[in-house]
Chains A and B, each alone.
Chain A
C-alpha cells in the first residue's frame, strides 16, 4: 500500500511538471508577454517603456525558456519559465496581473474555505439523495414508478443547470421571498444563503446521477449472489439494502469521486450566480478581468487537487472493497 502511494505520488509530481510546462507554453508562447502587457495596460497608444515597466514589475522581462546571455546553469535558471515553475511548485502564486495586484495565495486560501461550506454538504447530500432515488426506482422495477422515474430523469438531464438556477432564484427568492437572492455571510448565517444553491445543484444533477446509479444497481441485481440471497429466502428489501447496496458502492464511488475535486474548487456557475465568494467565483472574476496570473495559478491548484483526489479515491477503494489490494 505505501509502496503504491509513493509510486502514485511520484507519478503525480511528474504529471504536475507536465501541467506546468503545458500551461506555461499556453500562456507565454501563444501570446508573448508584450501582448499581455499591451492588453493589461489597455488603451490604444502604449509606449515601449510602459510595457517594459509592466514586465519588470512582474518579472516577465527575462527570456522565456533559455537565457543565452547568462553563464553556466544560469542559462536555464535566469528565465521566466524557471522563476514561474519554482514558485508555483513551492505553492507561491505571487500577485495578480490586475492593477490591485492582490496576493493570489492568500485569496485562494480564504476563498477555498467558503467554497467548502457550499460544496461539502452538497457532495454528501448528492450521494445520499441520488442513491436513495435510484434505490427507489430499482425497488419498484418494472412498474410505473420505475418507468416514469426514468422518463423524468431523461427530461431532467436535458435541462441545463442554468435553467434550474434562474427558475429557482425567481420562484424562491422573488415570488415566495423564502431566501435571499444572492450574497454571503460567514458563520451560521451562511445557511440562509446556501440552502437554495444546494437544493438547485442537487436537482440539476439528480437526473443523470439517478439514471446512472439505477443502471449500476440493476447490473448488480443480475449477479449470482443476488439469486443466492433470494433463494435462501431473504426479503427483497433485505437483498437490496444489505447486499446490492454494498456491492454497488464500488462503481458509485468512482462516479461520485469525480466530483471530489470540485468540493475544493467550488462550482463556477453556482457560486457566481448566488454571489458566494468562493474559488469558482474567483475564476470567473479572473476570466472576465482577463487576469492571466490568477487563471494560471488556478489551473495549477486545480490539477494538484485532481491528482490528490484520485489518490484518495484509490485508497477509498480498499476500504469499500476488501478484495482490492493496492500494490
Chain B
C-alpha cells in the first residue's frame, strides 16, 4: 500500500531552497560576471572545503525533509468507500535509513559503544535477584559474550575505514575523470595534476576534506549497525540519530529565517532609499521601532503569543509532528519579521548611493517608471549585499537557536535540535557519574556546521566585497605556516 506523503511547511522550505540554489546556479552559469565572482569564492581552499562539508549536511537535511505516513496494513479495508488508515507517526526518509537505530531504544542512559547499561539494575540471574549492570537491549546485541566486544569493535572500525577509503578513492577518481574530460587530456596526467595540487581550483584540498569525512563517517555508520555510537540519552534514544536529525532543524532555521527577512528588508529598503520623502520617514520609524526593542525579548514575546495560539487551537493540527513543524515554521517567520531592520538600513543606504549614479539618472531622464528602475536597475546591484548578509546570518541563526531553546522560546521540545540537546546536556553534566556524550555529540556536530558556515561566509564576503579581502590574515613571503 502506498504511504501517504506528508508535506510539512518546513519541508517546502528545504525543497524550495534546493530549487532556488539550482536556479541561481543556472543563472551564475549564464552570467560571466557572477561566474567569475563565484569562481573566486571556490578558489579559496577554506571556502571550498567548508562547502563540501555544508553540502553533506545539506544532503542530510534534504533526506530528512521527505516526510510520509505509513499505511496501516492490519486495518481491514472494507471496500473502496472506507478510507485507508495511516500511522499517526510521521516519518522521513532519513528515519527509514536509520530504522535500526531508531527502533533500538534502550531504557535509559548508555555510554558510547557500550553493551551494558550505565546504571545498575535488579536483574534475575539464575533464579536470584542481583544488582548488576544489565546488558543493553540493542547495543552489542549480536555479541554472545562481553569479551568479544573489543574484537567486534575493531573489526567494524576496520570495515568502516575500508569502505570509507574506497568511497573517497572512487570520488577522487571521478573528479580526476571529469578533470581529464574538461582539460581534454589523459586520465593519468589529470590524476597527477590533482595530486600535485596543480589545478585551477584547490581540488586537492576538497578531496582531502572528502577523505576526512569518509574516514570519520565510515566507521561511525559501520559501528552504528551494532552499537549506540554516541550512546543513548535519558529515555534511551540513540544520540547519533538525534544529532543527525538536528541538522535539518538547524538548516531550516538558518535559511528560512533569512528568507523571511528578505521581502520586508529588500522591499522597504529600496523603496525608502529611492522614493525618499514620507516613505523614507515611515520606513525609518518602523525599523527604529523594531530595533529599539531588545531582540530576545521581542522574539520571546512573539513566541509566547504563538504558543498560546497553538495551545488554544489544537484542532488545527492533525499530528504532533505537524504541530511541532508549524511551531518551527512560525519561529522562523518571527525571527524574520523581527530581524529585517539591519539589512533594510544597509539597503536603504546603498540605494541612496546608487540613485546618484549616472545610469540611474539616465534611466530617469529616459522616462523609465520608478518601479521599473527599482526592479531592473537598483535591485540587481544590491544583490551582493543580500547574499553576503544571508550567508553571514546563517551561522549566527544556528547559534541563536540554541540560546532561544534554552530560554524556552525555541523549537518544540519534541523536535530534535542542537538547542534541545544542549539543554538536556546541562543537567546531565551535573550528574555523578558524568553523562558527557550528548553534550559531546551536540558540540561536535554544531561546531562543525557553524565553523563550515562561517568559513564559507568569509569566502563569499571576500569575493563579493573586495574591500574585506585586505583584512585576511596573510603571511609574508618566506614565513610558511
Query: Is B297 a contact partner of A142 (Cβ separation < 8 A)?
Result: no
* Stretch from B68-76, B320-328, B358-366, B406-414 forming part of the interface with A: B406-414
Does A150 sit within 8 A of B, measured CB to CB? yes
Q: Which of these, A11, A174, A287, A290, contacts B407 with CB under 8 Å?
A: A287
Main secondary structure of the interface of A (DSSP, over half): helix
Question: B401 — nearest CB in chain A belongs to which residue?
Answer: A160
> How big is chain A's contact interface, by range?
35 or more
Taking CB atoms and an 8 Å cut-off, the chain B residues in 461-478 that contact chain A are: 468, 470-471, 473-476
Q: Which of these, B304, B403, B458, B473, contacts A161 with CB under 8 Å?
A: B403
Query: Is A174 a contact partner of B430 (Cβ separation < 8 A)?
Result: yes
Q: Which of these, B291, B408, B455, B471, contacts A154 with CB under 8 Å?
A: B455
Query: Is A302 a contact partner of B293 (Cβ separation < 8 A)?
Result: yes
Residues from chain B with Cβ under 8 Å of A147 in the complex: 473-475, 481
* Stretch from A19-27, A67-75, A105-113 forming part of the interface with B: A19-27
Residues from chain B with Cβ under 8 Å of A38 in the complex: 312
Query: Is B425 a contact partner of A295 (Cβ separation < 8 A)?
Result: no
Say how far A121's CB is from chain B's closest CB, in angstroms: 21
Does A265 sit within 8 A of B, measured CB to CB? yes
* Stretch from A47-55, A214-222, A227-235 forming part of the interface with B: A214-222
Query: Is B395 a contact partner of A158 (Cβ separation < 8 A)?
Result: yes
Say how far A31's CB is from chain B's closest CB, in angstroms: 5
Say how far A30's CB is from chain B's closest CB, in angstroms: 4
Q: How far is the CA of A220 from the CA of B418 in the complex (A)?
A: 39
Question: B293 — nearest CB in chain A belongs to which residue?
Answer: A303
Q: Which of these, A15, A155, A290, contacts B285 with CB under 8 Å?
A: A15
Residues from chain B with Cβ under 8 Å of A39 in the complex: 308, 311-312
Residues from chain A with Cβ under 8 Å of B298 in the complex: 299
Q: How far is the CA of A151 from the CA of B458 in the complex (A)?
A: 12
Q: Which of these, A23, A214, A218, A268, contacts B301 with CB under 8 Å?
A: A23
If A143-B475, A166-B425 touch, whether A287 touches B409 (CB-CB below 8 Å) is yes
Q: Which of these, B288, B312, B403, B406, contacts A31 with CB under 8 Å?
A: B312
Does A284 sit within 8 A of B, measured CB to CB? yes
Question: A30 — nearest CB in chain B belongs to which residue?
Answer: B305
Question: A207 — nearest CB in chain B belongs to which residue?
Answer: B454
Q: Give the 6 A-B CB pairs with smallest separation, nearest first.
A: A302-B294, A158-B451, A150-B473, A158-B450, A215-B471, A18-B289
Residues from chain A with Cβ under 8 Å of B308 in the complex: 30-31, 35-36, 39, 290
Q: Which of these, A27, A162, A287, A303, contacts B292 with CB under 8 Å?
A: A303
> How big is chain B's contact interface, by range?
35 or more
Does B333 sit within 8 A of A, measured CB to CB? no
Q: Which of these, A15, A35, A287, A302, contacts B408 with CB under 8 Å?
A: A287
Choose among A14, A36, A160 the residue with the greatest number of B CB atoms under 10 Å from its CB: A160
Mask, A278-300, CB within 8 Å of B = 1, is 00000110011010100110110
Mask, B331-344, CB within 8 Å of A = 1, is 00000000000000
Does A170 sit within 8 A of B, measured CB to CB? yes
> Which residues of A are at the interface with B, using a C-beta cutoff of 8 A?
11, 14-15, 18-19, 22-23, 26-27, 30-31, 35-36, 38-39, 142-144, 146-151, 154-155, 157-163, 166, 169-170, 174, 181, 214-215, 218-219, 222, 261-262, 265, 268-269, 273, 283-284, 287-288, 290, 292, 295-296, 298-299, 302-303, 306-307, 310
Say how far B341's CB is from chain A's closest CB, in angstroms: 12
Question: A153 — nearest CB in chain B belongs to which residue?
Answer: B473
Query: Is B301 a contact partner of A269 (Cβ separation < 8 A)?
Result: no
Q: How far is the CA of A261 from the CA of B293 in the complex (A)?
A: 10
Q: How far is the CA of A26 from the CA of B290 in the complex (A)?
A: 13
Query: Is A166 a contact partner of B294 (Cβ separation < 8 A)?
Result: no
* Stretch from B31-39, B184-192, B439-447 forming part of the interface with A: B439-447
Query: Is B301 a contact partner of A19 (Cβ separation < 8 A)?
Result: no
Query: Is B294 a contact partner of A303 (Cβ separation < 8 A)?
Result: yes
Q: How far is the CA of A318 from the CA of B430 in the complex (A)?
A: 49
Say how far A243's CB is from chain B's closest CB, in angstroms: 19
